[in-house]
Amino acid sequence: MDVAARPVPVGLLVRALATSPPTWTAPAAVVNPVIPAELLGRRLRALVRRGAVAVVLVWRGLPEDVAAGQWLPFTLPDLPVPVVRVAGEHADALADGDAHVTVTATPTGPARGESVWCVVEGTGTSDETVLVTTHTDGPNPLEENGPVALVGLARALVADRPRRTHVLVAATGHLRMPQLPHRGQCTATWLAEHRSWWDGAAGHRRAVAGVVVEHVGALDDDGAPEVELVHTTTAPLAALTATAFAARARPHRALLAAPRSLVHLGEGEPLHEHRIPAVASLAVPRRLLQLAAPDDPRWRGRVDVALAEDQVAAVERVLRAVDATPTGALGTVRRHRPWERVRDAARLLRWVRGA
């Protein structure tokens, strides 16, 4: 079955608000294997129901070195049949031939992961918190490096304590979300298990904002900074994020945007679902879910430490600005209206059908 990695209009994913630097023009579309892979679920389940004993997925639009080792799709439950992915050029070369392979697997599960989190108590108000989140469990040094950013932010907050209490969370299970007990990104499970830190119920603290940081220091294959997608879910947060990013010292390419009604990419989704005002930053390069062998030297050229430090510094400025802003001035997360969901679903369907 062919899987086309064709350009996805950015407007399907987000509503663009601004760029950083302002002189940079964001692309109208992106090519990324995550999106077509995540849309495969219904088709794969239908094949299994019709009696398929194995599935060969043929990537179209991805070079071999990008198609290899992609850990996709990662939001779908396991299938009861083996699935193999090949680059399109290989499929074309072997289309009329026969091949036999035996794969022996030894079950090792179920495995259990634990989220790592800590609290930096504030110097002022005791009933308000700011959530600072990321995920663990990535297949390579880029997808996995959010906790490194979190450690840097924790050190900065301890050295100069904020007014509000900050809860820093590296949530487990990001690449095994269907096996988690709560629907959505893996931060949703941490939130469900630690409501006293954010839901504002009697005797509980209330999260007035959240900041999410993932995939820092990403470089494209040509060495240019990868596009950073920065979700902002209220107008005041969009404004203070633009100010924080304006002070960045390294060349970068960031798109500040509001999420569409059907999708919120990354671990900012659970905060949005719980209507916690948030800024959620992540890069989504083509190799984001590619499995990296230990000490693979090629990955050293795909993560720029200086760029990562610059991104983390920008996130810290966002945190400081949020901490200095009165709660009522942080804005309110607006629920998407039914007509917006219908509109966005129609747009997505037209794209899927190739219109």
**Interval 115-164: pLDDT, tens:** 999 999 999 988 999 999 999 989 999 999 999 999 999 999 999 999 99
- The predicted pLDDT at position 329 comes to 98
- The predicted pLDDT at position 92 comes to 78
- H/E stretch holding 4 reads strand 2-4
Between β-strands 128-135 and 165-171, what pairing exists: parallel, antiparallel or unpaired? parallel
Answer whether residue 99 shows pLDDT above 80: no
- The predicted pLDDT at position 215 comes to 97
pLDDT level of residue 108 (50, 70, 90 thresholds): confident
Average pLDDT estimate for 2-12: 92
Beta bridge partners of 57: 85
Looking at residue 262, the DSSP 8-state letter turns out to be S
pLDDT level of residue 96 (50, 70, 90 thresholds): confident
pLDDT level of residue 177 (50, 70, 90 thresholds): confident
Closest by CA to 322, choosing from 164, 146, 133, 214, is 164
Return all residues near 196 (Cβ < 8 A) that are at least 6 apart: 203, 204, 205
What residue type is assigned to position 329 of the chain?
A
pLDDT level of residue 100 (50, 70, 90 thresholds): confident
| Ramachandran angles phi, psi of 128, nearest 5° | -115, 145
Residue identified by tokens 């490194």 is: 148
Distance in angstroms (rounded) separating the CA atoms of residues 303 and 312: 14
Answer whether residue 348 shows pLDDT above 80: yes
Question: Cα–Cα distances in Å, from 151 out to 87, 121, 178, 205?
Answer: 38, 16, 28, 23
Distance in angstroms (rounded) separating the CA atoms of residues 327 and 329: 5
- The predicted pLDDT at position 63 comes to 87
Neighbours of 253 (CB within 10 A): 18
What rounded mean pLDDT belongs to the chain?
A: 93
Structure tokens at 200: 């504002």
Structure tokens at 223: 């060495």
- The predicted pLDDT at position 355 comes to 54
- The predicted pLDDT at position 26 comes to 97
Contact 314, 247 (CB under 8 A): yes
Q: What is the residue extent of each domain of the chain?
A: 2-94, 116-329
Alpha helices in 39-171 (DSSP H): 41-49, 64-67, 88-94, 146-159
Answer whether residue 171 shows pLDDT above 70: yes
pLDDT level of residue 179 (50, 70, 90 thresholds): confident
Answer whether residue 241 shows pLDDT above 90: yes
- The predicted pLDDT at position 135 comes to 97
Distance in angstroms (rounded) separating the CA atoms of residues 178 and 308: 30
Residue identified by tokens 């059907």 is: 262
- The predicted pLDDT at position 311 comes to 98
Angle between helices 146-159 and 305-324 (to 10 degrees): 50
Average pLDDT estimate for 104-115: 81
Among 52-56, 151-155, 264-268, name the one with the lowest average pLDDT.
Answer: 52-56
CATH placement of domain 116-329: 3.40.630.10
- H/E stretch holding 350 reads helix 338-352
Query: Dihedral of CA 266/267/269/271: which sign?
Result: negative
Give the rounded percent of residues in the chain with a pLDDT score beyond 70.
100
pLDDT level of residue 41 (50, 70, 90 thresholds): confident
Structure tokens at 41: 């679920």
- The predicted pLDDT at position 278 comes to 99
Closest by CA to 233, choosing from 206, 194, 273, 200, is 273
Task: Choose the most confident range, by mean pLDDT, from 40-44, 74-78, 99-103, 162-166.
Answer: 162-166
In tens, the pLDDT along 269-292 reads: 999 999 999 999 999 999 999 999
- The predicted pLDDT at position 113 comes to 85
Structure tokens at 29: 């579309």
Distance from the Cα of residue 122 to its chain's centroid: 28
Return all residues near 27 (Cβ < 8 A) that are at least 6 apart: 10, 227
The pTM of the full predicted model, rounded to 2 decimals, is 0.94
Beta bridge partners of 129: 165, 207
- The predicted pLDDT at position 40 comes to 86
Beta bridge partners of 102: none
> Greater confidence, 315 or 101?
315
Distance in angstroms (rounded) separating the CA atoms of residues 254 and 213: 13
Answer whether residue 315 shows pLDDT above 80: yes
